Structure 1
Amino acid sequence: MSTKPVVVVLHNENRPSPDALAPVTDRAEVRFTQADGLADAMDGADVVFAYDFLSTALADAWHAAGSVEWVHIAAAGVDPLMTPEVRASDVVITNSRGVFDDAIAEYVLAQVLSFAKDLPRSLRLQDEARWQHRESERVAGTRALVVGTGPIGRAVARLLRAAGLEVSGSGRRERTGDPDFGDVSATEDLHEALGQADWVVAIAPLTDQTAGMFDTDAFAAMQPHARFINVGRGELVVTDDLVAALRSEQVAGAALDVVDPEPLPADHALWTLPDVMITPHNSGDFVGWRDALVDLFAENFVRWVDGRPLDNVVDTSLGYVPTTGS
């Protein structure tokens, strides 16, 4: 390139670390903007780095994206970007696959153990200074179904297997002999698979096909003692149906790192239902995660400037990065 490319960094109150972004600022004109200035910032820009990965501002500003060649989002899920206009364009979309895999897997294992060992109740009893003996559950030999067989789902499966759980997957197509999941059932057979699981982990990408996949019928298919863990997107779940399933004890408990809506209103029923653990969409947010996201973008930017293929290219017809066996 004869002139420096223009990179727009969409951010909220948090901005990328200057040190982490140095490989980009050294080789590009960088424009920092929040949502209200995105359209102006994109005038003549080549690249958009959606560091504010929950922002939907790109949809309203897309009319100004005439020169944009590449959009990168600082998240594994790309659903905030997947408008009809983006899908119909030639703009390359990449995501931050790989940054959160192990941290989210650790979170899932922590929630499984927390349920089995009744840790929330132990804390409540401690607050009341009550010495109340109880028995706990073993997790070894129990069955987990991981719904979503991409890289994060695989990391979850490997860690749960290491803890002694029997793991299977639910993905686009049925297969056997998978190195991480063993058996994978097809999405159309989800309800049958749900009926075999003690633990159900939702980590599927949010697409037109997966939105609302956990509804009344799905929860009715689960065993009454099963626990539901959602680390994917809140919109995978019909929230009112989950509340009803928990109230009727069709589902024994839920650990929700993502909900619909977010943030969860203070008066929402999920806050006070027993055996529900809610965390504020932070299952992957380990110490240093923000710089890790910028590092990944910076490495991809260098590839782009050098004319090499980009990593983590999203198939916009699918809404995620396709992988072998996913």
Structure 2
Amino acid sequence: MLNAVRRTALRAGSETGRRKSSAAALLHGGLRTMATYDAPTKVLVVTKPSYKVSNAIMESRHIVADEKIEFVIAESADDLLAKHSKEELADLSGVLLTPQFASADLGKLLEPEAELANVKWIHSFSAGVDHMADLLAGTLSKSRTDIAVSNGRGAFSSSLAEYIILGCLHFNKKVPRCQQNKREKRYDRFTMPVLKGKTIGFVGFGHIAKSAARIAKDSFGMKIAAVRRNPDKSDSALADQVYTDKVELARNSDFVVCTLPGTPATVKFCDQALFDAMPDGAVFVSCGRGSAVDEAALAKHLREERLFAALDVFEQEPLPESSELWDVPDDRLLITAHNADLTEDFFELGWETFRKNFHRFRAGEPLDTPVDKAHGY
């Protein structure tokens, strides 16, 4: 009986010891995991020194100082290889790309056996990702499909929405006529049109377009129309009319707004047929990507004094002096230098979107603004 009690006690002690050992091992493993998680995540920033984000990173480090992140800045793939060893590059798990950097030469470093094989996330500071089109169509869609991609979508929608409304008001309120009257000291008491009841049609109905549509509808009483390749139920919650045909949209809109991204599928999407369909006196606003607009076709209608336009983006930037757009009269065309979203808080807004995606990446969660590699936006 005594021996049986002893054996039971020994088994209990042994079990307790095993539990303690298991708990210790679990705790030790947990601490190792926490230590790994606690270590800063190293992110490569690829940017040209002339691009403002380079200085902004240095000046704004306080924004991400507590974010467990360490930046490695390089101008190009060659610059990166020259300054860092393979061991250092193996520690990089993220990449931040700026619009001024051509990403094609980064692809070879991201291959499975290459220097940046451990990178699992790429973020575009801008909302547009056309600057990394080759990378999206190449390495990221073939050998490195495991790399997640995010962009600055939504960060600059508010300022671009303001620009869209500005373009509408500029011509609807006949601001050029007012300016001419002042120059000529003419007291011209003409009838001042309003936006209420007029239709604004969006070519592309993403974040920027919807931000502008809400202002147009809620603040100005405008009717909202949109053209979508694949309309869904959420579109009708904001849009009064959704089209699948861009010509039908143009024919029934007083204002046509293009916010399309720059992809092979959107090149010159706003073409002669669309401009032909717009009513006389209609206004065209473009603040997506210049490649989505046939500038020659638009210029023709502007010279013929059929349409008005406000353009912030162009096929070639900076807009060359040889462009026929410069010769369009001021009362027909408003030109801005792709700076509709270049606001005082531009970098803070961009960093905030980067931070949201960084937190999700670090936690192993879906990104906040994921990019569809196949569609390029």
- TM score, norm. by length of structure 2: 0.77
Aligned residue type for 1:141? G
**% same residue:** 29
Q: Per the alignment, in what secondary structure is the counterpart of residue 265 of structure 1?
A: coil
- Are the aligned partners of 1:173 and 1:184 in contact in 2 as well (CA < 8 Å)? no
How do 1:186-197 residues align onto structure 2 when only pairs under 5 Å count?
186=244, 189-197=245-253
1:127 deviation in Å? 4.3
- Are the aligned partners of 1:170 and 1:184 in contact in 2 as well (CA < 8 Å)? yes
C-alpha separation in 2, matches of 1:175 and 1:99: 24
1:262 deviation in Å? 0.9
C-alpha separation in 2, matches of 1:174 and 1:310: 24
Determine the structure 2 residue equivalent to 1:46.
93
Determine the structure 1 residue equivalent to 2:107.
62
Aligned residue type for 1:57? A
C-alpha separation in 2, matches of 1:255 and 1:37: 40
How do 1:68-79 residues align onto structure 2 when only pairs under 5 Å count?
68-79=119-130
Whether 2:81 is the aligned partner of 1:29: answer: no
Contiguous gaps of at least 5 residues in structure 1: 321-326
1:71 deviation in Å? 0.8
Richer in helix (by share): 2
Describe the shift of the 1:38–1:117 C-alpha distance in structure 2 as closer, same or farther (beyond 3 A): farther
Q: Which has the larger radius of gyration?
A: 2
1:190 deviation in Å? 1.0
Q: Per the alignment, in what secondary structure is the counterpart of residue 160 of structure 1?
A: helix
C-alpha separation in 1, matches of 2:359 and 2:189: 58
- Are the aligned partners of 1:215 and 1:241 in contact in 2 as well (CA < 8 Å)? yes
Aligned residue type for 1:294? W
1:203 deviation in Å? 0.9
Determine the structure 1 residue equivalent to 2:242.
184
Aligned residue type for 2:213? A
C-alpha separation in 2, matches of 1:288 and 1:9: 20
Describe the shift of the 1:175–1:309 C-alpha distance in structure 2 as closer, same or farther (beyond 3 A): closer
- Are the aligned partners of 2:150 and 2:357 in contact in 1 as well (CA < 8 Å)? no
Q: Per the alignment, in what secondary structure is the counterpart of residue 319 of structure 1?
A: coil
Q: Per the alignment, in what secondary structure is the counterpart of residue 259 of structure 1?
A: coil
- The superposition leaves residues 11-37 of structure 1 with CA deviations (integer Å, 9 ceiling, x where unpaired) of 34322222223244xx23311123475
How do 1:202-281 residues align onto structure 2 when only pairs under 5 Å count?
202-249=258-305, 251-274=306-329, 275-281=332-338
Determine the structure 2 residue equivalent to 1:82.
133
Describe the shift of the 1:72–1:248 C-alpha distance in structure 2 as closer, same or farther (beyond 3 A): same
C-alpha separation in 1, matches of 2:79 and 2:294: 32
1:70 deviation in Å? 1.0
Deviates more, 1:308-317 or 1:32-41: 32-41
Instruction: Specify which of 215, 231, 234 is matched with residue 159 of structure 1.
Output: 215
Deviates more, 1:175-184 or 1:308-317: 175-184
Deviates more, 1:311-320 or 1:10-19: 10-19
Q: Per the alignment, in what secondary structure is the counterpart of residue 120 of structure 1?
A: helix
Determine the structure 2 residue equivalent to 1:112.
168
Measured on the aligned residues, the alpha-carbon RMSD in Å equals 2.2
Q: Per the alignment, in what secondary structure is the counterpart of residue 201 of structure 2?
A: strand
Q: Per the alignment, in what secondary structure is the counterpart of residue 263 of structure 1?
A: coil
Aligned residue type for 2:124? I
- The superposition leaves residues 249-306 of structure 1 with CA deviations (integer Å, 9 ceiling, x where unpaired) of 3x41110011111110123221231210011112223321211211221232122222
Whether 2:338 is the aligned partner of 1:291: answer: no
Whether 2:42 is the aligned partner of 1:6: answer: yes
Describe the shift of the 1:246–1:216 C-alpha distance in structure 2 as closer, same or farther (beyond 3 A): same
Aligned residue type for 1:49? L
Determine the structure 1 residue equivalent to 2:20.
none
Determine the structure 2 residue equivalent to 1:323.
none
- Are the aligned partners of 1:145 and 1:201 in contact in 2 as well (CA < 8 Å)? yes
1:181 deviation in Å? 0.9
- With a CA cutoff of 8 Å and minimum separation of 6, indicate the structure with the bigger relative contact order: 1
C-alpha separation in 2, matches of 1:37 and 1:29: 21
Instruction: Specify which of 133, 136, 139 is matched with residue 192 of structure 2.
Output: 136
- The superposition leaves residues 78-123 of structure 1 with CA deviations (integer Å, 9 ceiling, x where unpaired) of 1211222133331211011221122211111111111111113323
- Are the aligned partners of 1:175 and 1:183 in contact in 2 as well (CA < 8 Å)? no
1:178 deviation in Å? 1.0
Number of residue-to-residue matches in the alignment? 313
C-alpha separation in 2, matches of 1:181 and 1:55: 35
1:233 deviation in Å? 0.5
Describe the shift of the 1:199–1:114 C-alpha distance in structure 2 as closer, same or farther (beyond 3 A): same
